[in-house]
Amino acid sequence: MKVFLSTDMEGTAGVVDWEQCVGDGPRAQAGRELLLAEVNAAIEGAIDGGATEVVVNDSHSVMFNLPPDRLAGRASYISGRHKPLYMMQGLDSSYGAVLFVSYHGSVGAAAGLSHTYNPRAVVEVRLNGLVTGEAGINALAAAHYRVPVVLVTGDSIACEEAAVFLPGAHAVSVKDPVTRVAAHSMHPSCARDAIRATARTAVAGASGTSPPQLAPGVLEVMVRTTDIAEAASWVRGVDRTGPRELRIEGEDMLATYRSFCAAILLTRSIAELVL
């Protein structure tokens, strides 16, 4: 069975500050080591659970945060920016399970380093009328290809938000937020043990887990400025429903997800001008 692993970073045990997540300083290097160990724990658990191949899609920031030669299980690695399917690049119907590793809470949530895709642009996202973080949005691609999402790891808020849209997924909460830049984390070794064991159980039971049930899969997005909303409305499938409100619906859930990703990429330069 092929397993697809989408990894972010802010949901890693011990990571609480942007300085651990971006750049090349010593704290960022230490943060990437913590992330690598959790990703490898998920890979090892997936293989123990029956995975014959694991593909890791690096989905954080510059999207080349992991040393390819240190990935466990000879996992292959999708890295680099401007990927058409962004955090879900590489997924198709040939996979038997999806894992979300080191995910974080949505923008506005009382979660560590909370945001939704672009913190400079996005104020809130709703999926089928309910507030969602990145796990729910990304699950649109899994729903399209009818691949079950069997594991979510990250902070407790990320796990709670994901459970609304992915009730069949196993969850590993590796830390509880104290504030947006503070958390009570498990010891990294304990977090890895929990991820490894739960990934094994999740992948072993993947054949009995249903794909995400997300139809109609409509996204409603509030952005920070009218300029961002205007630019986003140029993307196919994105309609402007208010000064800063967008409605995204494609011909299927994958089209909706692609339109959302395109809008995020298109508006990035405008969002960076926001004061």
Tens digit of each residue's pLDDT (9 = 90 or more) over 99-118: 999 999 999 998 899 999 99
Whether the per-residue pLDDT at 272 is higher than 90: the answer is no
Whether the per-residue pLDDT at 241 is higher than 60: the answer is yes
Q: What is the pLDDT of residues 208-233, one digit of tens each?
A: 999 999 999 999 999 999 999 999 99
Please confirm whether the linkage preceding 212 is cis (ω < 30° from 0).
Answer: no
Q: How far is CA 201 from CA 37, 54, 149, 160, 213, in A?
A: 19, 16, 13, 19, 21
| Mean of the per-residue pLDDT values of the chain | 96
Q: Is 148 exposed, middle or buried (0-12, 13-18, 19+ CB in 10 A)?
A: buried
Q: For 82, left (φ over 0), alpha (ψ -120 to 50), or beta?
A: left
Per-residue pLDDT, 82: 87
**Max Cα–Cα distance, the chain, nearest Å:** 50
Put simply, whether the predicted model's pTM sits higher than 0.85 gets the answer yes
Task: Enter the tokens of residue 214.
Answer: 């997300």
Whether the per-residue pLDDT at 269 is higher than 90: the answer is no
Per-residue pLDDT, 275: 53
Per-residue pLDDT, 55: 98
Q: What is the pLDDT of residues 171-211, one digit of tens each?
A: 999 999 999 999 999 999 999 999 999 999 999 999 999 99
- Pick the more confident residue, 151 or 266: 151
DSSP 70: G
How would DSSP label each residue in 202-215?
HHHTGGGSPPP--T
Can you list the domains of the chain with their CATH numbers? 2-109+134-208 (3.40.50.10780)
Measured between alpha carbons, how far is 154 from 200 in angstroms, rounded to an integer?
Answer: 17
Q: Phi/psi at 66 (nearest 5 deg)?
A: -115, 140
